[in-house]
Structure 1
């Protein structure tokens, strides 16, 4: 992979990681459609560290407040504080994706070539999750803000997050959808989705980085660094835009996009433009 390709894929990662449209799906479909080939799970996982840098940058004050609040809660035995509930929800909500991720590592060692990562699977997952987001948008109460988050919200959104191990599902899409189903405001669901993703995306990126360092030459490392920086810049833009957008707008634009994206993939396979690999 050359530097230009790394910049483009970093942009794709950054713009799609936090929008509810699946970064992993776009990181496979876009390079394949451009005849660059599938960049693979390792490259995808590593450049996600750029997205994590963007989250930490954007939510630094929130994270500092949560950390301070947790320490204060422990000292005063006040386990009902908002900060403690958020931290506990993030911690417990991270466990499902770690558990299922380890299962995949153990039982599907060739996950890059698994049917779960095929173009057809991505197209079907995109359509299914688009419909699910539409249902959540339609029936969600949207009455609870960040101060009314519960530990149960974290667990349920964490279970939804584990679904994103399948490309096309979307980590942010599945968690935002779950947040809407449990009655969170759109912007609150997105905000907590981003915070919930910090541990899981960081762990995934570090694991892939550890495995890839010994296998990459200087050129490969340069492309990884460039892709990660590109992902960080575009992730920050996407986070800031989406939170502002969801404060006043609904999620239907993403529903229609996901349906069109999935249909385009299946249509591309049917016409022979895309290979189902």
Structure 2
């Protein structure tokens, strides 16, 4: 198996940075694009090969994508990390930052355990063009089904009825399995009491981030587990991690904006852990001859991922998953025709 060049590294890095966060499956595209191009691309960029230098490359671009997510959501991660540390120290959950941190931990467990046990099997057995095409088609159907279920759940149930209002008040009290009942906001910064001297007023962006995270913290433990188990399906090439996470969030009552935010926050530790776990491959025999290309591809992937999450966070403020669903259905269907038993 030959080593890939800088053109291939840059192209796949760009593809990874975009498709890892867009709900269209980065792994599926990493299988299908080289197969469509053929030649040395199909030979050198084969994720199903057990000892391919391409695997070391994939590790690096995953780490770059995670770094881009941490950079974009740095305010959130500072609050969440601090909240988790305080929660562990005090052995209780009192704020929305602490609760959101534990929800992310809970949602990470199913895919983390499944990834350790099944990732190699899924990649080597299902990392073929036809399998990826079939799963990409399924992914499109899942996205459409999620939109349909959300519309049904939020539709008025009778004449003059309307969906219940959503509150973004801070969360206090014990950490329970059900959806918590928010306490009314007091106007004071979270963690302070009315009339006490609190932190300086937040900027508009920081205040918006805080309000969004307080809303995410109202997700129930059961809802977080649903999102976490949904991610297990993304071990199959063609199923999008962010896509199934968003659909699970929508089904559990989150808005598109909040579902996307939770999916991207949840993707950060999952992607970073997967990358760091296999990082030694990059410095071992698999990385020989491709380290320069890998660093270049990782840099491209990081920039693309940052721009992608910035675009998508705005997209889902007013738009839905439908365009991505139709894209997956179209590309998946054509790819099934191309790589199936009656291929053209």
Mapped partners of 1:83, 1:159: distance in 2: 22
Counterpart of 2:134 in structure 1 is 124
**Larger of the two Rg values belongs to structure:** 2
Counterpart of 1:200 in structure 2 is 270
C-alpha distance 189-217 of structure 1, shift in aligned 2 (>3 A): closer
Displacement of 1:64 in angstroms is: 0.7
Correspondence for 1:61 among 75, 94, 97: 75
Q: 2:59 touches 2:282 (CA, 8 Å); kept in 1?
A: no
Mapped partners of 1:223, 1:102: distance in 2: 27
Counterpart of 2:12 in structure 1 is 9
Counterpart of 2:258 in structure 1 is 188
Counterpart of 2:112 in structure 1 is 98
Q: 2:17 touches 2:300 (CA, 8 Å); kept in 1?
A: yes
Counterpart of 2:248 in structure 1 is 178
Secondary structure, aligned partner of 2:24: coil
Counterpart of 2:206 in structure 1 is none
Mapped partners of 1:187, 1:195: distance in 2: 12
Correspondence for 2:30 among 27, 30, 46: 27
Secondary structure, aligned partner of 2:289: helix
Ranges in structure 2 where 5+ consecutive residues have no aligned partner: 49-54, 155-164, 167-214
Mapped partners of 1:105, 1:250: distance in 2: 30
Mapped partners of 1:18, 1:136: distance in 2: 17
Count matched residues. 269
- Structure 1 residues 168-192: Cα deviation after superposition (integer angstroms, max 9, x where no partner): 0111111111111111111111111
Q: TM-score, normalised by structure 2?
A: 0.73
- Structure 1 residues 44-85: Cα deviation after superposition (integer angstroms, max 9, x where no partner): 233111100100100001111212333444566651522122
Bigger shift: 96-105 or 176-185? 96-105
Correspondence for 1:258 among 325, 328, 342: 328
Q: 1:85 touches 1:150 (CA, 8 Å); kept in 2?
A: no
Q: 1:86 touches 1:150 (CA, 8 Å); kept in 2?
A: no
Q: TM-score, normalised by structure 1?
A: 0.89
Ranges in structure 1 where 5+ consecutive residues have no aligned partner: none
Q: 1:96 touches 1:158 (CA, 8 Å); kept in 2?
A: yes
Higher helix share: 1
Mapped partners of 1:15, 1:219: distance in 2: 26
